[in-house]
Chain A
Amino acid sequence: MAGKGGATPSTYAPSPTTQKTKSLIFGNDDVDWVRSDGREFHQCRPAFFKTGAVNCASGSAYAEFGNTKVIVSLFGPRESKKAMMYSDIGRLNCDVSYTTFATPVRGQSCLGKNLVIDPILEEESYQDGSLMLTCMPSRYEVTQLTITGEWSTPKVNEVRQIADLFFVVLYQMLFDQRTSDRYF
């Protein structure tokens, strides 16, 4: 809805074009650049979890990786109106949406000769390839693996080792949160 009558006029963001800044971020030498937030290549951003973020939901959580912030709500279980006959399998209906002012960040990426994990958006836009790995630490099972771009076998193995460590830490955080909730 525009402030004045008539159609919304076309607008543009006054941000400078990102291509120009690429050389500033990475320098000339591919090996020696510094991540814009001062992290090491294999270092994740500070993470924060909280369960019970949305009061009216049956279950909910808030998660934060640096400036990336996500809220999840779970509703139900409800009776399925589509089911024509009895079934002993339920359905999980997922819906993901971004706010208009959010900039999405996801996955892990490879840049130059180096592995960079937990990239910020700026870094993602210059990636040569990305790898996303989802796993269930309690069962030591990989549930999802997405690879784009060029990846050599040693590089993939390197990611697996980093991810193993990372998941153990995240899992512990989530577990601590759940136990502390129980006492409040």
Chain B
Amino acid sequence: MGLPDGSGDLLSEMDGDAFRRLFPLQFYESHFVKSTRPDGRSLTEARETSSALGAVASADGSALVKIGSTTMLAAIKMEVMTPPTESPDEGCIAIDFHMPPICSPTVRPGRPADAAPVVSKQLSDTILRQVNCHSGMVNLKELSLISGKAAWMAYLDIYCLDADGALFDAALLSAVAAFSHLQIPVVSMNDEGKVVVMSEEQGGKEAVNNGKRKLTLSSIPFSLTCILHKKYILADPTAEEESIMETLVTVVLDSSGQLVSLYKPGGPVLAYTSVIQDCVALTRQRARELQAILDEAISGMEVD
């Protein structure tokens, strides 16, 4: 009705699914003008998020996190190492992010996913950020067992089980949740000088790390990824949205609201100061939501 060109008539006659596939950008924009998105969310609304702790029985700490369909499984295994001479009373954290072929049609067996090393590096930069052992999330000194002799190496592995956008946000949340679930095993030194887990019948030996089963997590990082498209800011994009509109901004704030990192890897849209401020404000709001979800998961564990 009254559309200026022939293609408009074609569009109005086409059914929704075909329109979405053939003209994805127009399809999305037709929703944006009504301040909504195809999945029913408002532009700045994140998807439903859940976190379950202790999903992996064979690990010392683990968490399964879902943001919409995006699913991350994080687990921590504690091993013992001899600390390096330059930091004799500090442990270590090794972080790896994996995208197995089950998570997305774009990942093929035998070929590593392009996104995996990028997310892995971003996670390491965020979690291992250490300024004089104070402002990071984990104090590496708490991972020390016997100064100069033995310290914990925490292997944190995060697996993407379903890749539907905002991978870094979900991976970071799962990492934080796994650290809050972590129970450090009680260990003792055996006769050969090796650190072993204390078993019940081993009463005579003295534990090396009595009463230090939980890490103190300070300034927990939370993140939100937004898409910039024309004048719109879309929070927590799906994989489809990420593939159609390419400008992403990821903001990481810590629990006191300070900026940890700001990541805008190029893209056709340039961000003005006001847009960055809006992204930070959205992240601040999202960080409060995520903190509540995490607190709920932790208190749920304590009841059990």
A interface, CB within 8 angstroms of B: 1-4, 6, 8-16, 53-58, 60, 67, 71-73, 75, 93, 95, 97, 99-103
Question: Is there an interface contact between B153 and A101, defined as CB atoms closer than 8 Å?
Answer: no
- Interface membership of B155, Cβ < 8 A: yes
CA distance A56 to B68 in the complex (A): 12
- Interface membership of B120, Cβ < 8 A: yes
- Per CB-CB distance, the 8 closest pairs between chain A and chain B, nearest first, are A95-B109, A55-B69, A73-B102, A11-B79, A101-B75, A3-B93, A11-B81, A3-B92
Question: Is there an interface contact between B79 and A14, defined as CB atoms closer than 8 Å?
Answer: yes
Known A3-B93, A16-B199, A56-B164; judge A9-B100 contact (CB<8 A): no
Measured between beta carbons, the chain A residues less than 8 angstroms from B196 are: 14-16
Question: Is there an interface contact between A11 and B153, defined as CB atoms closer than 8 Å?
Answer: yes
Question: Is there an interface contact between B100 and A100, defined as CB atoms closer than 8 Å?
Answer: no
Question: Is there an interface contact between B155 and A100, defined as CB atoms closer than 8 Å?
Answer: yes
Q: Contact check: which of A8, A55, A60, A103 meets B164 at CB < 8 Å?
A: A55
Measured between beta carbons, the chain B residues less than 8 angstroms from A97 are: 100-101
B258 CB to closest chain A CB, in angstroms?
22
- Complex: chain B residue closest to A72, CB-CB: B102
Q: Contact check: which of A1, A14, A55 meets B120 at CB < 8 Å?
A: A1
**Contacts between chains A and B (CB distance < 8 A), count:** 115
- Interface membership of B77, Cβ < 8 A: yes
Question: Is there an interface contact between A71 and B161, defined as CB atoms closer than 8 Å?
Answer: yes
CA distance A56 to B161 in the complex (A): 10
A142 CB to closest chain B CB, in angstroms?
27
- Complex: chain A residue closest to B76, CB-CB: A101
Known A3-B128, A97-B100; judge A54-B162 contact (CB<8 A): yes
Q: Of residues 63 to 98 in B, which have CB atoms within 8 Å of A's CB atoms?
A: 69, 71, 73, 75, 77-84, 87, 90, 92-96, 98
Measured between beta carbons, the chain B residues less than 8 angstroms from A95 are: 101, 109-110
Question: Is there an interface contact between B94 and A1, defined as CB atoms closer than 8 Å?
Answer: yes
Q: Contact check: which of B84, B187, B195 meets A9 at CB < 8 Å?
A: B84
Interface size class of B (residues with CB under 8 A): 35 or more
Measured between beta carbons, the chain A residues less than 8 angstroms from B109 are: 93, 95
Which residue of A60, A99, A103 has the most chain B CB atoms within 10 A of its CB atom?
Answer: A99
Question: Is there an interface contact between A73 and B101, defined as CB atoms closer than 8 Å?
Answer: yes
Measured between beta carbons, the chain B residues less than 8 angstroms from A1 are: 94-96, 120-121, 124
Question: Is there an interface contact between A3 and B94, defined as CB atoms closer than 8 Å?
Answer: yes
Measured between beta carbons, the chain B residues less than 8 angstroms from A100 are: 77, 96, 155, 157
* Besides A1-B94, A56-B104, 6 other A-B contacts (C-beta < 8 A): A9-B92, A13-B77, A15-B196, A54-B102, A55-B162, A100-B96
Known A2-B92, A55-B69; judge A67-B57 contact (CB<8 A): yes
Measured between beta carbons, the chain B residues less than 8 angstroms from A54 are: 71, 102-103, 161-162
Question: Is there an interface contact between B73 and A99, defined as CB atoms closer than 8 Å?
Answer: yes
Question: Is there an interface contact between A71 and B102, defined as CB atoms closer than 8 Å?
Answer: yes
- Complex: chain B residue closest to A16, CB-CB: B196
CA distance A74 to B287 in the complex (A): 35
- Interface membership of B280, Cβ < 8 A: no
Measured between beta carbons, the chain A residues less than 8 angstroms from B71 are: 54
CA distance A54 to B161 in the complex (A): 7
Question: Is there an interface contact between A6 and B239, defined as CB atoms closer than 8 Å?
Answer: no
Interface flags, B173-217, vs A, CB<8A=1, else 0: 000000000000101000000111101000000000000000000
- Complex: chain B residue closest to A73, CB-CB: B102
Interface CB pairs A-B, < 8 A, 8: A4-B87, A14-B187, A14-B195, A14-B196, A71-B161, A99-B157, A101-B56, A103-B58
Measured between beta carbons, the chain A residues less than 8 angstroms from B249 are: none
Question: Is there an interface contact between A56 and B163, defined as CB atoms closer than 8 Å?
Answer: yes
- Complex: chain A residue closest to B145, CB-CB: A14
CA distance A8 to B73 in the complex (A): 23
